[in-house]
Structure 1
Amino acid sequence: MARIAYLVSSAKEIELADGGRHTTGYFAEEAVKPYERFVDAGAEVVVLTPDGEPPFADPYGLEPFFHYPEPDQDFFASVTRTFHRDPDDIRITLHQNTELGLVAARRLAERLKTRGFSPVEAHALVSKAARIAWREDRQLADVMTDDGLDGGLPAEEIRAAVAELDAASRQLAADRKAKLDAIPGFRQPASLADLSDEQLAEFDAVFAPGGHGPMVDLSDNPDVARLLKVLHDKQAPIASLCHGPALLLSAPEREDGQWLFDGYRLTCFTDEEEDQTEPGKLGLPWYVDTALKNAGAVFDDGPSAWVSHVVVDRNLITGQNPASTEATADALLKAVGQR
């Protein structure tokens, strides 16, 4: 049975570029999904924070648009693939993904089918409306009602589908937070600082979820450096997600004077994605993407922002963003032989 160090930030605030403070922490989805996957696979998961303080869920990461139900996300992905002949040329921003009601497409298509539309016809109509909303920065509900693309649905029914998605997403966010609150390790984590190198060597892997918290207390931490060196020396998997790869900045130098992960291919939350987030718009003093490149990483990001992208180079596993959560967790399970 693999023993996984589940390293979570305990930070509650991050300093902005202007010297102000902003609430932060870990992202709930990125914390709960891998934890459950690892436990279900039979791994022993030991929750650690740098100082033994309980981790704090970033309120921003509990916003409903980070918790769309998977059937809605999957249907939306099938809709966005119709936006351009070449999927690699499609760019969906966080604003478009979260503020235009586009992810309600599945629920609208279901309502169209009750009006006699075939699944193909319903998909085609909502895709046409969604493409207009995407290109013109308009609400999907407004496009359907104002541009004659309602398919016979009353305006109130169209808006009810959008409201239904919002309610389902809020409930899913609350459910995930409740699951995390019920995990003993999240209530009383072990302190990384208190563990000896011999105890660290008992772990078979480390996983660090994201949220902006890792930028605060994992990126320049001597105890994180110890953990990375101990695991790297025995080529144990080192996995991190989204902002989690900030922990790699704590890694010590090799004997040749280069950063421990110099020349490794990796990914993380990109500067492009960061600029679309709430903290990014407020102004951060540094970006994880740029810092890792400057440290010596060979950066490998996905074809576009917000799509799932995982990079595995030797014992290093990194995931780009929240959409990469499951794939990053699965890559770690494969590496420790418990998938």
Structure 2
Amino acid sequence: MPRIAFLVSSARAIDLHESSDHPTGFWLEEALLSYERFVEAGVEVVVMTPDGQAPVPDPYGLEPIFHYPAEDRDYFASVYRTFQHDPDDIRITLEHTTDLDLVAGRRIAQRMVAAGRTPSQAHDLISAAARIAWLQHRRLVDVMLSEGIDGGLPEAALRDGVAELEAASTAVRDDRLARLARIEGFAAPVALSSLTDEQLGEFDAVFAPGGHGPMVDLPENPDVARLLSVLHEQGKTISALCHAPALLLAAPDRIDGQWLFEGFRLTSYTNEEEDQNKIGRLGMPWLLASALQNAGAIFDDAPYPWASHVVVDRNLITGQNPYSTEATADAVLKALELL
């Protein structure tokens, strides 16, 4: 049975320019869904933190806006693609991907269909209203009411669709927290610092989920450096998602004096994505994408922010953002010949 060292940050605070000692941690969605995917595939997953302290979910990542049901996200994507045809013109921002009204389009469309519209007619109405809301930074329901694109629904029905999505996303978040609480490794992780090089070599891969926490306790960590050195020397899989590629900055230099991952293609949370989230706007002490490029990486990001994007270069697998979670986990399983 393959074994994965599931390395989670145990950091609980990060110093930002406008908020010192700001609460942080790991990103719930990335950690939980990856862990469950690996276990489902028959992998032995050993949860560890640098110091053996129990990790905590990043409070920002617990907001319901990050836990919309997949079917609502997919419908929303089908809507914005009707008025953004060229990938170069799809300037998706975090505001768009998390906007409660916009993502509630599927539930509003369902109410239109129940009132007599065809699914196609409902989709066209939602798309027309969403385009205006997108361009003018307005709420979808307000646009539908003021522009007469309400499909004949009363205001109460429109807002009920939005309220239904908010309740559903809160339920998804609460279910994920409950599932996380049942995983013993997150309550009592192994201390990476307690493992010998020989023990580290018994793992087939390392995987690190993101959240802003990894930027605090993974770079320049000597035990992370040992883990990377041991696995890389054996050609084993090294994988990280979102902010977790920060762990690569702990890697030592090669014998020729170059960084261990000099010239590797990789991705991570981008500077543009950082500029759009609530934490990043408080002033990051440093930017991950820039640091990786300065270290010697060939940075490879998606054509636009918040797209699922995974880069595989030799034994290194990196994912760009939370929306890359499942694809990154599957790339790791493929490397372990389990897919």
**TM-score normalised by L of structure 2:** 0.98
Q: What is the CA–CA distance in structure 1 between the aligned matches of 2:172 and 2:34, rounded to whole Å?
A: 16
Q: Secondary structure at the match of 2:9?
A: coil
Partner of 1:327: 327
Q: Secondary structure at the match of 1:230?
A: helix
Q: What is the CA–CA distance in structure 2 between the aligned matches of 1:51 and 1:85, rounded to whole Å?
A: 48
Partner of 2:60: 60
Partner of 2:3: 3
Partner of 2:91: 91
Q: What is the CA–CA distance in structure 1 between the aligned matches of 2:330 and 2:48, rounded to whole Å?
A: 20
Deviations 1:278-319 (A, max 9, x none): 111111110111110100000000010011000000000000
Partner of 1:114: 114
Pairing 1:165-204 to 2, within 5 Å after superposition: 165-204=165-204
Alignment: residue pair count:
339
Instruction: Give the C-alpha shift of residue 98 in structure 1.
Output: 2.1
Q: What is the CA–CA distance in structure 1 between the aligned matches of 2:189 and 2:114, rounded to whole Å?
A: 50
Partner of 2:253: 253
Deviations 1:168-219 (A, max 9, x none): 1111111111111110000000000000000000000000000000000011
Deviations 1:215-248 (A, max 9, x none): 0001110000000010001111111100010000
Instruction: Give the C-alpha shift of residue 19 in structure 1.
Output: 6.8
Instruction: Give the C-alpha shift of residue 85 in structure 1.
Output: 2.7
Q: Secondary structure at the match of 1:148?
A: coil
Gaps of 5+ in 2: none
For the 8 Å contact 2:100–2:165, the answer to whether it is kept is no
Counterpart AA for 2:126: V
**TM-score normalised by L of structure 1:** 0.98
Counterpart AA for 2:95: H
Partner of 1:264: 264
Q: What is the CA–CA distance in structure 2 between the aligned matches of 1:177 and 1:268, rounded to whole Å?
A: 25
Q: Secondary structure at the match of 1:235?
A: coil
Q: Secondary structure at the match of 1:223?
A: helix
Counterpart AA for 1:245: P
Counterpart AA for 1:224: V
Instruction: Give the C-alpha shift of residue 82 in structure 1.
Output: 1.1
Q: What is the CA–CA distance in structure 1 between the aligned matches of 2:228 and 2:128, rounded to whole Å?
A: 49
Partner of 1:41: 41
Instruction: Give the C-alpha shift of residue 96 in structure 1.
Output: 2.3
Is the deviation greater in 165-174 or in 77-86?
77-86
Q: Secondary structure at the match of 2:104?
A: helix
Instruction: Give the C-alpha shift of residue 18 in structure 1.
Output: 4.9
Partner of 1:20: 20
Q: What is the CA–CA distance in structure 1 between the aligned matches of 2:249 and 2:129, rounded to whole Å?
A: 44
For the 8 Å contact 1:81–1:87, the answer to whether it is kept is no
For the 8 Å contact 1:100–1:133, the answer to whether it is kept is no
Q: What is the CA–CA distance in structure 1 between the aligned matches of 2:19 and 2:279, rounded to whole Å?
A: 13
Q: Among the aligned pairs, what percent are the same residue? A: 63
Q: Secondary structure at the match of 1:278?
A: coil
Partner of 2:77: 77
Q: What is the CA–CA distance in structure 1 between the aligned matches of 2:109 and 2:238, rounded to whole Å?
A: 42
Q: Secondary structure at the match of 1:255?
A: coil
Gaps of 5+ in 1: none
Q: What is the CA–CA distance in structure 1 between the aligned matches of 2:157 and 2:275, rounded to whole Å?
A: 35
Aligned CA distance change for structure 1 residues 163 and 18 (closer, same or farther; 3 Å): closer
Q: What is the CA–CA distance in structure 1 between the aligned matches of 2:232 and 2:248, rounded to whole Å?
A: 11
